[in-house]
Amino acid sequence: MSDLDDATVREEFSRRRKRQWIASACAVAGIALAFLGPSIFGEVGQKPAEGPLVVVGIAVVIGVAIFSFKNWRCPRCGHYLGKRMFLRFCTSCGAQFTR
């Protein structure tokens, strides 16, 4: 357990949630790049799911997954927060994220 006070926990959670929203947007962009990139950029002769853009898109998604696993944790106890973005408290230690 960390000795962070409640206000610091809320501020840190807010920062982490903002980073998580940005990461989610990057994941959506990576998926779009992987599957729609060749057709959007007019690469003639390529199917929608082949070529270097697919590799870049998949790498972005994998990078976001790794980042999310490290970022989306409780500021107080370090417990992974799961898939939900609108959390009020940590299910492990009970730290309050909202007032």
Q: Three-state DSSP class for 90?
A: coil
SS3 content of the chain, % helix, strand, coil (to 5): 55, 5, 40
Rounded CA-CA distance 16/20 in Å is 6
The answer to whether the beta carbons of residues 75 and 13 sit under 8 Å apart is yes
The per-residue pLDDT for 73 is: 97
Axis crossing angle, helix 6-40 with helix 52-71, rounded to the nearest 10: 170
Domains of the chain, residue spans: 20-80
Per-residue pLDDT of the chain (99 residues; tens, 9 = 90+): 567 889 999 999 999 999 999 999 999 998 888 777 666 655 555 555 567 778 888 899 999 999 999 999 999 999 999 999 999 999 999 999 988
Tell me the pTM.
Answer: 0.80
